[in-house]
Structure 1
Amino acid sequence: MKGWRLLLTRPTDESAALAAVLNEHGVFSSSLPLLEIEALPVSGAQRAMILDLDLYCAVIVVSKPAARLGMDLLDQYWPQRPIQRWFSVGAATAQILSDYGLDVSAPQEGDDSEALLELPQLREAIARPDARVLIMRGEGGRELLAERLHEQGASVDYLELYRRGLPQYGAAALPQRIAAERLNGLVVSSGQGFSHLHQLAGTAWPELARLPLFVPSPRVADMARAAGAQKVVDCRGASAVALLTALREHPVPVL
């Protein structure tokens, strides 16, 4: 894997953790966070969802920010944890929930919506006539989960806990960073992350679109290809393990 020089675009703390793992495997990385997490105020309707949490047969938490903010709400309204099945898309999110003493399940292979939907534990949890599922997330995203759960007869509510903003950068910050660090690969962890990458690239996008782009799911891969990205690699997950596996399977480009 030596020879890869990657641009990381996750929030600052997550990029730092990923960079440390990559460095252990001889992969150089440079961080330009393209997602800034802003917690949303809790509305009356959202508060009601939290207070009625025990009425849901399953709670799905789709990201680490959603897990952290969701656990803050549990601390406020549920000093004794409600008894139900909890699910997460990735192992890191599952660890946050597990640390709070929750019964959580996550896919062992492929940390994306498709893998989660295949979990026997989730299918068992919603195998009832009145199944209700709560999805903790940021603004928008993970629509596939709700669609598939509806198809299986469950009703779905969203508890939106944060929005993802684009940090302020100069117009040429992205291409300048890639040129200065001689980067030969781009990494995004979500559809919103790719949208911000595309936006920040501006007129430099046709050139940057030639670089290998590592994405976490088929949905984001489709977004990237539709925008003109030429070398999209679906890692089937946003974890460090998923990225490292993809790096091993793809040759370092000759630029």
Structure 2
Amino acid sequence: MTDQSAAPTAEPPHPEQEIEEAFDRLVSEGSERLDRPFLPLLSTGLLGGIDIGTGVLAYLLVLDATDSHLLAGLAFSIGFVALLLARSELFTENFLVPVTAVVAREGSVVSLLRLWGVTLLANLAGGWVITWLVIGGLPDLKATAIEAGTHYADLPIGWQSFWLAALAGVVITLMTRMQHSTESIGVRIVPAILFGALLAGGQLFHSVLDSLLMFAAIHAGSDFGYGEWLPRLGWSALGNLVGGLVLVTALRLLRVPHRVAEAQREAS
């Protein structure tokens, strides 16, 4: 009779090993994103805007029914779940993954700027269309959409809004990092829900989400227009970059300097 108690048990992976494996996944996926042809890149960005637009629809429906930004933020997280399961992309999701590939010399800065620019513009275009459909199909949401969008249109361009934008960059990039720590889709959904709710419920200053809320308000007949939206897009995108790149991506890479150096040597 075999002694089952003597059978060897698998040792759980060491935390440092898990971090290194996550780094390798980031480099691999990041290089694929940077090398993506234009049309797939454009369509992925458009779908990302549409996915976030579904989250905006849920946000407005729940905000209209409850007048609670926290509950509306929780409802908005359906947009991040859609991003994850549909494998579309959001501009601010491209801070950690492709930047890690560039640092590992698996991609160029020019390719990174191309990825950022096309994804952001495509997100906004897809989001503009879906918010137009939301207001046209559900006119009862006009007052709520105007209230939600006006909050960001009235947000002064200054240090407070910049800090809110930096926090939004931190939240999204940390969500991306947590999702890439595992290959389980079920586990990845958890940070999508939690951080999506934090982003929208906390009314942080996110370049794409807040643009879509302002688009919805403009479609609904708000007192502000694209002249108020455009500078806030630039300011929020800058804050998102600072928060995502400096406070999360750079510090995460400092945890695996030896793997970064190895990857750079291999790419040379």
Q: Using structure 2 for the length normalisation, give the TM-score.
A: 0.24
Q: Using structure 1 for the length normalisation, give the TM-score.
A: 0.25
User: Which structure is higher in RCO with an 8 Å CA cutoff and minimum separation 6?
Assistant: 2
Higher relative strand content: 1
